Structures are given as C-alpha cells and as structure tokens.
Amino acid sequence: MTRRIIIDTDPGQDDALAILLAFASPELDVLGITAVAGNVPLALTELNARKICELAGRADAKVFAGADRPLMRPLITAEHVHGKTGLDGPDLPKPAMPLQAQHAVDFIIEKLRNEEPGSVTLCALGPLTNIAHVLIRAPELSTRIREIVLMGGGFFEGGNVTPTAEFNIYVDPQAAQIVLQSGVPVTILPLDVTHKALTTAKRVDRFRAMGTKSGDASVALLEFFERFDEEKYGSDGGPLHDPNVIAYLLKPELYGGRHCNVTVDTTNELTLGMTVVDWWGVTDRPRNAFYIRDVDDEAFFDLLIERVARLR
C-alpha cells in the first residue's frame, strides 16, 4: 500500500535529492509539495520546487507557496551554503508548470480534513513554519496526521549554524517547539544521523555513471553542495541531510534511535534553536519524538542511487 505524503521544503540541493527520491519511489504518493522560506527566500524555494518536479518528469505535481518568514523572528537564509539561487550547480530551466494559487497552509489543512484520518504523513525538509501555522489554525487536525518526519536538530553533533543549533530549527525555533508539543507522532532525523551519510567522491561517481538528466543534475547539485562542508569538516564529501527523511519512510530498518523527550530552546541567546534531547531519560518530561542517531549509510546511498537511476 502506498504511503500518502506532503513534502514541506525549502530547496536546497539536498531537498532536491529528497524530492527526486520520493518521486522515484512507487511506495510513496506525493499529494503535494509545499514551499517555505528557509535556505533561500520563498520566491526561490517555490521556484526551485517546481524545477525539481520537472527534472523528475513530474510536471503534474502540485507545488504551493507557504510562509515567507518565521513565526516570530526575521528570516535567516543560507546562500553561503546553497548559492544565490538555492539550487546552484546544475543549469535547470525555468519551469513551465504553474505555482498553485492556494496557500500551502490552506492546502495542508484541506488535505488533512479530506483524506482518511491518520493517512497523511508530513515530511518536513526545512523550517517548520508552515506546519506550525497548520497546528495553530486548526489544532483539531493534529489527531488526523499520521506522522511528522522531519530533518532538523542535533545534539551529539552540536549545531551547524551556531555551536548548539541546526539550521532548520534555528530559523524558526518557535515553530519547532509547537510541532514537538502538538501530540502528533514525530520522527526526527538530526545532524547526529545525517553527518554519517557523506557524499564521497565514489558515491557521486555512481550518479555520474547513470548518464541520465537526473543523474547529471544530481552530480552538479552534490558537487556544489558538498564544497562548503568539505571545507568546514575536512571530510570526503558533505553530509546529505534531507533525503534521509524519505529514505526513512521507505526503509526504516536502515535507521536506529529511541523515543525520548525533545525540547527546543526558544529564549536563550547562546543556545537559541538548540534541540535538547533527553536521550538517557534523566527527566520526567514525556517522550514526544523518535530521535534517530544511526544509519546504515552504505544501504542509504544504495537506495538513493538505485531510485534516482529510475528517473530519466
């Protein structure tokens, strides 16, 4: 049976690979793609989402623009990582497919109301602003969401935008805390796991060997994206974050973690956006998330490469 998902995203090269993986996987039914401001401003994230849909041969997919700024603070972007377009690397054509007129938050609310309760999974690849707006406007829908699977946070690895905070959570910490307090089942794929999934030269060469439009675009995306982290971490390749969300839905057996309490710091300047993970259960705070720490990185890349190779 296919799993019905909505991908909430701020593309982003790694978001692009996640979307390609979803479209190449018949186990997933992508109901829509909702764009949020994050890696770059909203006008670029919605444009990039449509470019990726067309790259995947899915001009029939529906893309919706959502929140253009976080709930309570100015937008912080990451052009220094992703380039001025957010998708620097390949030269992807201007998309012909239209942006949907409906607001992303309205679309998510409508889908949750109209689909079978517990049948829709929200896959969050960027800041959680759109999903927080849904939970603020229609809190009764929290019981209709099957699960929220998100890339964000970090604890054992620290942060990647401040010493303690990961980018997606730091951009909108208030939204992240709303999601974690919502009662919806939440699975978190943090830096602690994505830093184990590195785009080594050998892995990038496997994309190059495809000889397809999607394979060539993936190489250009990855080679641009990894340069920042290679310089930062001194590693062979950079961590490939967002595709882990989709891979987890496809093959959860590749991942290991535990249920624990996760809380976001929304007040302290030094640790703003930190995901405080009670990994050892030393508090009596309720377990509100499945926090993933381990991945079979070889099997993850095997899955990603095999699926993207199905696209032309």
Query: For position 80, what pLDDT does the model report?
Result: 87
Query: For position 231, what pLDDT does the model report?
Result: 73
Query: For position 225, what pLDDT does the model report?
Result: 80
pLDDT digits (tens, 9 = 90+) for 271-310: 999 999 999 999 999 999 999 999 999 999 999 999 999 9
CA–CA distance, 39 with 92 (Å, rounded to integer): 18
Secondary structure element (H or E) that encloses residue 32, with its range: strand 28-35
Q: Which residues pair with 124 in a beta bridge?
A: 8, 150
241 is catalytic: yes
Q: pLDDT at residue 37 above 90?
A: yes
Query: For position 291, what pLDDT does the model report?
Result: 98
Query: For position 238, what pLDDT does the model report?
Result: 86
Helix 129-137 vs helix 104-114: angle between axes, to the nearest 10 degrees?
Answer: 60
Q: pLDDT at residue 232 above 80?
A: no
Query: For position 302, what pLDDT does the model report?
Result: 98
| Residue 68 contacts residue 41 (beta carbons within 8 Å) | yes
Which pLDDT band, with edges at 50, 70 and 90, does 226 fall under?
Answer: confident
| Residue 131 contacts residue 175 (beta carbons within 8 Å) | yes
Q: pLDDT at residue 235 above 80?
A: no
pLDDT digits (tens, 9 = 90+) for 178-208: 999 999 999 999 999 999 999 999 999 999 9
Return the percent helix, strand and coil in the chain, to nearest 5: 40, 20, 40
Q: pLDDT at residue 258 above 90?
A: yes
Query: For position 237, what pLDDT does the model report?
Result: 80
| Residue 221 contacts residue 13 (beta carbons within 8 Å) | yes
CA–CA distance, 216 with 200 (Å, rounded to integer): 16
Which pLDDT band, with edges at 50, 70 and 90, does 132 fall under?
Answer: very high
Parallel, antiparallel or unpaired: strands 145-151 and 120-124: parallel
**pLDDT cut 90: percent of the chain above it:** 94
Taking alpha carbons only, the member of 91, 65, 76, 94 closest to residue 40 is 76
Among candidate residues 82, 133, 195, 241, the one labeled active-site is 241
Query: For position 123, what pLDDT does the model report?
Result: 98
